Amino acid sequence: MLASPATVTAAAPAGPVGENARAGVRVVVHLVAVEQPEALDAKIAAWFLGQTGTYTSVRQEHFQASELFRAQSPGVHVFVTRPNADELRIFFVCSDGPKQRYLVRDLPLTRGLDEVAMENTAQVVFSATLAVWEGREETTPGGVSAKLAPDAGTAPPPEAVTRTPEPPPSTSPRATVARDPNVASRDERTSAPLARPYLVASAGYALRYRGPGGVAHGPLLGLGIGRGNRREIGARISGALLLPITVESQDLDLKLRGYSLALEPWLELGREGSARFVGSLALGMDIVNASPSVSSTGIDPTPPSWQFDPFLAPRVGAYFALGSLQVGVALDLTVQFVQRHYDIAEAGQQQAWLTAWRVQPGLLVQAFWRGQ
């Protein structure tokens, strides 16, 4: 057997799935001579993102039956094999203490291992792993031996010879995967357990260009709740300190400082390797203190005042794993509900002196930490 080095993907925290899952389940997926192993591995790993424990993948060139029946390390070992061009056969070996449980799933490939087939495979691996780990489904050793190709390796174990294969359960694996792929996808998502919410904290720096109103910038902190099954969703409350800036024009100076508060729900849009793409929509309020000053004796400045400017800001960001943190950048486009302007009053007449943009582009550099 030839195997490539293992690739380990960290899993985000989630709630217990069954009586034996409280400590988390260690999942090792063996991709045996399958095409596009990177793409299939990424899809399977995404389904285990919201579960406790660890996920590991190993790429192999050959498969032997002895691998199924030998003593395995604790957890669930998954062997994705392709006995012929039209079918995937997946073996599950659950090692829970001294006993090992087995499960077999067959997936027909009507159009080869395309995008739909890989997504269906990832869903089946996820749901069947939980089922065999919790003891809800099981295939007898004799049934496993019957699924092994004649040239797959060693002979079946003694217990496979002495026991009579049991009839297949009412919900047979082949009957499950022979349905329309879209229907199977919905059913698998419905049966997947909901992950436990977890704490999400963030810190970073925000910049926003307000046109003639200058650049608003300052440190940003956030705290929220996330939940991750196939895709992470969540919401957070964030606050930014708007550091003092001075806008100068002719004989007038305007000093601006304040705070920016927002409620921001988010959704994971997708993954590409180690990158996560996240979209969010922030609904917030800028609380700005404006303090004018003059260098000309003919102008009488007004006293400093506070303004409250509500805004809506769609954001899209890309984040990368850095140890226990997710670090990345996000672009946003802040739309002010009220266009802020500052005027000069002369002889009872007011004329616009400075008008901030109503649509303001921005950039956020952030680091996220997820609680256990």
> What confidence category does residue 296 fall into, taking pLDDT thresholds of 50, 70 and 90?
low
User: The tokens 């709740």 sit on which residue?
Assistant: 225
Report the percentage of the chain scoring pLDDT > 90.
34
C-alpha pair distances (Å), 356 with each of 226, 256, 335, 342: 35, 12, 11, 9
Q: What is the arithmetic mean of pLDDT over 133-143?
A: 86
pLDDT at 348: 64
Assess whether pLDDT exceeds 90 at residue 181: no
| Nearest CA-CA partner of 263 in 225, 297, 292, 289 | 225
Query: 278: number of CA atoms within 13 Å, CB side?
Result: 27
Q: What is the pTM of this model?
A: 0.50
Angle at 115 between CA 112 and CA 121, to 5 degrees: 80
Contact 290, 304 (CB under 8 A): yes
Assess whether pLDDT exceeds 50 at residue 211: yes
pLDDT at 299: 67
Assess whether pLDDT exceeds 90 at residue 342: no
> What confidence category does residue 372 fall into, taking pLDDT thresholds of 50, 70 and 90?
low
78-99 burial: b if 16+ Cβ within 10 Å, else e: bbbbbeeeeebbbbbbbbbeee
198-370 topology per CATH: Porin (2.40.160)
| Nearest CA-CA partner of 325 in 199, 205, 202 | 202
CA 127 – CA 142 distance, rounded (Å) = 23
Token digits for 145? Answer: 């031996």
Predicted confidence (pLDDT) per residue in 267-290, tens digit: 999 888 778 899 999 999 999 999
User: The tokens 């001579």 sit on which residue?
Assistant: 33
Strands 325-336 and 305-322: what pairing? antiparallel
Assess whether pLDDT exceeds 80 at residue 51: no
Token digits for 210? Answer: 């307000």
Q: Where are the domains of the chain?
A: 7-191, 198-370
